[in-house]
Amino acid sequence: MIAKWVLIAMALLGIAISFPASAEVRVFACEPEWAALAREVGRGHVKAFAATSKRQDPHHIRAKPSLIAAMRRADLLFCSGAGLEVGWLPILLRQSAKANVQPGKPGHFLAADYVKVLEIPAVIDRSLGDVHPEGNPHVHLDARNMIPLALELSRRLAAVDPPNGQAYAEQADAFVDNWSEHLTGWQGRALKLNGLPVIVHHKSWAYLIDWLGLTQLATLEPRPGIQPTPGHLSRLLRSSRLRPAKAILRTPYDPPEASDWFSSKTSIPVLKLRYTVEKTGSKGSLKALFDNMIAQLETVTTVVDGDK
Ligand SMILES: [Zn+2]
């Protein structure tokens, strides 16, 4: 038996006291949205860790030791794929040497493999710095994609944790029922957003734009991943006079200078949309994410109506 003072000393030193092994499946999610989905489908059986936060650009993350350690503990890896994490995920996989989450294993789950990927280029060319050579990887922003992903996630969870397979299947079905109702509501609201002309900083929003029927007029980046240049911005300024956008969309992690400058020249408002969920708390729900983004877009359609 461990003496009480030893336990107190261990607690003070921050040493983990080992209790009987928990049956929780540990999910390593590259982005917070996948941790949120894992918590929904795996409720009660899953502990999800998000490698990035909403303030971090998921294209560019440092493969730091804490992430390698987290991957070593993982039973299931859940990431966007389509090259979004190409700069850091392969390093984590190699350095962690965790066998069950390597490509090809049931514990290696990439969202882009289960949904329709948009903007796949005819010719793959990274030489100009394009960060989307495999197509657009920001697949979570079409809310419809959550349905096939929830179902596949339940199968992956069942594969790594067979005793709870039934629970995962039931929770995924419940999620799908619920989500389908939300989709109906959001798509009803999207009727008023149809055709809304927007400019985006980076092509982070391709799936949201496709799903809600917005019209993307231009990107402030001359190519995905290349920061805006003065020449590109002045060309956009000229074309914007002919066909002005109603909003400039950027994520919380995009550098603000170009969109703020463009807004100051054109009076087009900048919408800093959430892009993903908070790691925890009430802003951590996927439903809240889409509710919030649509509500923000609705603020500029009011202006559209007022123009008429
Ligand atoms: Zn991107």
The set of residues, in sequence order, having a beta carbon less than 8 Å from that of 20 and lying 6+ positions away, is none
Dist CA 65 CA 101 (whole Å): 17
Q: What is the pTM of this model?
A: 0.90
Distance (angstroms) between ligand 1 centre and the Cα of 44 equals: 33
Name the maximum alpha-carbon separation found in the chain: 79
Dist CA 50 CA 61 (whole Å): 12
Dist CA 125 CA 306 (whole Å): 44
List C-alpha distances in Å: 207 to 3, 53, 56, 61, 166: 57, 20, 19, 22, 32
pLDDT by 10s per residue, the chain, length 308: 445 555 555 555 544 444 444 569 999 999 999 999 999 999 999 999 999 999 999 999 999 999 999 999 999 999 999 999 999 999 999 999 999 999 999 999 999 999 999 999 887 666 667 889 999 999 999 999 999 999 999 999 999 999 999 999 999 999 999 999 999 999 999 999 999 999 999 999 999 999 999 999 999 999 999 999 999 999 999 999 999 999 999 999 999 999 999 999 999 999 999 999 987 776 779 999 999 999 999 999 864 444 44
Query: Of 204, 208, 207, 209, which is closest to residue 221 (Cα–Cα)?
Result: 204
Distance (angstroms) between ligand 1 centre and the Cα of 7 equals: 48
138: how many CB neighbours lie within 10 A of its CB? 27
The set of residues, in sequence order, having a beta carbon less than 8 Å from that of 303 and lying 6+ positions away, is 246
Distance (angstroms) between ligand 1 centre and the Cα of 131 equals: 6
Distance (angstroms) between ligand 1 centre and the Cα of 133 equals: 10
Distance (angstroms) between ligand 1 centre and the Cα of 225 equals: 7
